[in-house]
Every structure is written in structure tokens, then in C-alpha cells.
Amino acid sequence: MIDVIVVGAGPTGLMLAAELRLRGVHALVLERQEEPTSHARAGGLHVRSIELMDQRGLLERFLELGEKFVVGGFFAGITKPWPDSLDTAHPYILAIPQPLTERLLAEHAADLGAEIRRGCALTGLSQDEHGVTAELADGTQLRSRHLVGCDGGRSTVRKLLGIGFPGEPGTNETLLGEMELGRPLEEVEAVVAEVGKTHQRFGVAPLGEGLYRVIAPAEGVAEDRTAGPTLDEFRQRLRALAGTDFGVHSPRWLSRFGDATRLAEHYRAGRVLLAGDAAHIHPPTGGQGLNLGVQDAFNLGWKLAAEIAGWAPEGLLDTYQAERRPVAAGVLENTRAQMLLMTPEPGPRAMRGLLSELMDIEEVNRRLMEKITAVGVRYDLGEGHELLGSRLRDVPLRQGRLYELLRSGRGLLLDRTGRLSVEGWSDRVDHVVDDSGEPDVPAVLLRPDGHVAWVGGDQQDLLAHLPTWFGAAA
């Protein structure tokens, strides 16, 4: 029997498979597409995702293929300087096309021993108290202990489970594509700058080798969302908005996206779970979608592995929904707000101007950037120290860096006192004695995802909290 079937080989599914394999779980990824996607639906990694890649030793690979940017404009396209007070050792956005992100994550998962089968479409599933049966389009049946749907906004897994997907329907659509232009770049930039003064969802950006990424508001909402736009539709909208179609031709791919926001009623039904776009959809404003899914996988991976290994405390797997669903709800809310602020009507334009003034205040600018980059995510772990539930920035230690010590995928007790012990949990929690100075507390217990589970200096208090996240002592 397979331990976990992951449906969907996008960034979420690949990160989840790697997290499971890191802990010895037999993970099989099923992807209905024969080949990896070749177009860049997402364009980069935000701070928290960059930190996750660093925690798994992947960041150097990403930096080799991406480009760092320290720019504002991620909240509703309002351009402001990067906030100086953002609490991270990685204060930048990493521009990297989604196909490269998927390739690097697929290589990482495969290096750890995950199996990826392409051209395998899921058509049915059933479950009992012992496992899940997955039915494929070719008639094959596979048996696993758990199954996770990472298969996008039109998730087959979610539909087969009958999980509700309520939310707000789309009222606006945006055209997006990659194509060649027949006008000089200087002319294009001048027109885009002028149109962009009133239409925030309009842009033309060079991608290299004569290819451009074109984005423009659609005229209305398409009756058939599954049908992509035509090149003529792009030409018509460009002429209507800019007075020219820039001579667009030879499209690489064309797509449309709406501003619908939906959130799954449940992230788990028995032995089957949802992650990424299968659990939540929203406009791509602020570039949060891919990042949100990867962070879902990072939260779920160690918990599901603990369940399979048999040491998970009761209710651990349920904390996945309890922690990640509110985060997704927050992203849905901020993308709704951003889409409203990017419309050309007088009211939203006035609000946009007011918010732009407020963002000149460092704390306001930082707070909004924390939302976009997920640096501000803090899980509700109850009353306690202000660090409880938050993630720690990477800090230098005498034995290297904090994030280097998290690469095993285990918990970590960072102990400045030298008096504490994790005896009984040493197979799940590493113990590092280091008095380098950060954070300014006696000790912190970090979960495998880098979030703070306990702060203190008393051994008995530590022993009372270890079972909450790491089960009974061996």
C-alpha cells in the first residue's frame, strides 16, 4: 500500500511530496498532464516561500535561476519603497517563472525518492477506515493510506468528496498571455505608462527573446470560463484601452482569470485532504497564489508524516485546517480589497490615493507587505509569549545559521540556557545549545515548519508542551 497519493504535480503537490519523502513516507504524485506546463502562470517567490526554500537547502538553486527585486507595488500596484523594518534575512522578491519553480521542486522531490507519474487522471475515489482507493482514467486502481488533492481550482478531488466551495463569484476578468509585438519597446513603454495611470490591470513587459507578457482588463465576464481568449480578443481590448494593439502576434499561450474568491468548507474529509488552489481560489493580485499553496504543503507535510509514522498526538492533523484555512481567508480578503482599489472608478481611485498616502508611514507599508509576503502569519497557539505561533527569521548561530539546522525536517529546541533536555523526543526533535543572542529568550521550541511552539526556560514546562506537537516520549 502507498502511504500518500498526491494528486497534482504543481508547486503545491511537488512540495508536499518532497516534505513527505524527507521523513521517509512513500509518496506517489499523479498528474493528468503528459508534460510539465511551459507557461508562467506565476512569476516569483515571496519572502516566506524563499525562507522555506532556505530551510530545505534549495535556495541556492532558485537564486541561480531567478532574480532578486527589492521593489514595492505588490499591494494593489501602489509603488512604495521596500519597508526597512520587515523582519527577515531575505528582504526581496525572487522573480522566477513558474515552470522553473516546478522543475526545481520536481527535481527535489525525485532526489528524495518521490515517484511522479504523468498522464494519470483521477476519475474516482472511495475511502474506508483503513485507506483510500483511487481510480484512474485507464481503469487502474491504487490503494493508499491517505490522499491529498493538490489539483487546482477545478479540483477533481474536492468535487468527488462533495466538499462545498462557497465564495464570491467573479465580476471582472483579466486577459493574460505571452506573445510577440510588432512595435519598438520605447513606444510600448510610453503607451503603457500613460494607460497605467488609470488602468492598473494593464501592462506589457518584455520576457526576453522577443516575447512579451501582456495583461489587460477583459470587456466582460466570459460565459465559458474554460475557453481561453483569442488573439483577436487581445487586439480589440488593447485598441480600446491603448489606441493600439502593438502589432501583437505569434502567441505562446493565452489565458483569462477572474476575481472570484472561494474557500473550501473543509480541508479534510477522513483520509483525504486538500491543499493549494484545490482549497482556495482568488485573483493573482499580489502574486500570492503559488506561495500560499507551497506554504500549505509545508504545514501539512510534517503533520501527515507524523500521522503515518504513528507518533502524531491526537488532533495534530486537524491543526492543518485550523491553521491554514484562516490564512487563506485573509488572502481572499486582501485580494478582494486590491482588486477594488485597481478599478478606474472615481470612488476606488480616491481610496487608492488615500491608501498611498498612508503607506508613506513605515508601519503601514510594512504591515501590508507582511500580508503579501506571509511574513506576518502567526498561528493561534493560545496565550503566551509574543513569539508563540510565529515563524523565526534566520539568525546566525555559533554552529552556522538557524535555517541550516532546520533542513532535517525535524523539530528544534534552540536553548540558550544549556540546562534543558529533549530526552525521550530526540528521534523527533534536535537540541542545539547556543547563546549567540537571538532570539532574546531563554529557549524556543520550533516545529518542523519553523513556527514557534513554546518559549521559556523551565524544563518541566517544556516537558508539558513537547507532547502537544511531538507526541508521547519514546
Asked whether residue 471 carries a pLDDT value surpassing 80, the answer given is: yes
Across the chain, mean pLDDT equals: 93
Asked whether residue 380 carries a pLDDT value surpassing 80, the answer given is: yes
Cell of 12: 503545491
pLDDT at 207: 82
d(C-alpha 253, C-alpha 394), whole Å: 39
> What percent of the chain is modeled with pLDDT above 90?
74
Contacts (Cβ under 8 Å, ≥6 apart) of 169: 260
pLDDT at 421: 97
Query: What mean pLDDT do residues 67-89 have?
Result: 86
The amino acid at 451: H
pLDDT at 85: 87
Lowest-confidence region among 109-113, 179-183, 353-357, 402-406: 179-183
Lowest-confidence region among 107-121, 260-274, 409-423, 427-441: 427-441
Cell of 188: 510600448
How distant, in Å, are the alpha carbons of 203, 221, 340, 391 from that of 172? Answer: 17, 6, 10, 36
Residue 282: pLDDT band with limits 50, 70, 90: very high
Q: What φ, ψ does residue 330 adopt, rounded to 5°?
A: -65, -40
Query: Residue 64: which H helix or E strand, with range?
Result: helix 59-65
Query: What mean pLDDT do residues 235-245 have?
Result: 91
pLDDT at 259: 86
Cβ(292)–Cβ(11) under 8 Å?
Answer: no
E runs forming strands in 259-351: 261-263, 268-269, 272-274, 280-281
d(C-alpha 275, C-alpha 6), whole Å: 10
Cβ(290)–Cβ(281) under 8 Å?
Answer: no
Cβ(33)–Cβ(317) under 8 Å?
Answer: no
Short-list 71, 94, 90, CA closest to 365 = 71
Please calculate the CA angle 161-166-169 and round it to the nearest 5 degrees.
130
Q: Which residue has the higher pLDDT, 330 or 173?
A: 330
Asked whether residue 225 carries a pLDDT value surpassing 70, the answer given is: no
Asked whether residue 275 carries a pLDDT value surpassing 80, the answer given is: yes
pLDDT at 257: 84
Instruction: Reduce the DSSP state of residue 168 to 3 states and report it.
Output: strand
pLDDT at 21: 98
Cell of 389: 505561533
Q: Which residue has the higher pLDDT, 54 or 169?
A: 54
Asked whether residue 119 carries a pLDDT value surpassing 80, the answer given is: yes
pLDDT in tens, 179-208: 999 888 888 888 988 888 788 888 888 888
Asked whether residue 7 carries a pLDDT value surpassing 70, the answer given is: yes
Residue 40: pLDDT band with limits 50, 70, 90: low
Asked whether residue 87 carries a pLDDT value surpassing 90, the answer given is: yes
Residue with cell 465576464: 221
Which structural domains are found in the chain, ordered by start?
A: 2-167+262-373 (3.50.50.60), 173-258 (3.30.70.2450), 396-470 (3.40.30.120)
Residue 286: pLDDT band with limits 50, 70, 90: confident
> What percent of the chain is modeled with pLDDT above 70?
98
> Sign of torsion, CA 10 13 16 22?
negative
> Is the backbone peptide bond immediately before 439 cis, with ω within 30 degrees of 0?
yes
C-alpha dihedral, 436 to 440 to 446 to 451, nearest 10°: -130
Q: Concatenate the DSSP letters of all residues of 342-404 into one string.
A: TS-SHHHHHHHHHHHHHTTSHHHHHHHHHHHHSTT-B----SS-TTTTBBPPP-EETTEEHHH
pLDDT at 39: 66
C-alpha dihedral, 323 to 110 to 156 to 53, nearest 10°: 30
Q: Which residue has the higher pLDDT, 284 or 295?
A: 295
Lowest-confidence region among 2-6, 185-189, 380-384, 444-448: 185-189
Query: What mean pLDDT do residues 154-177 have?
Result: 93
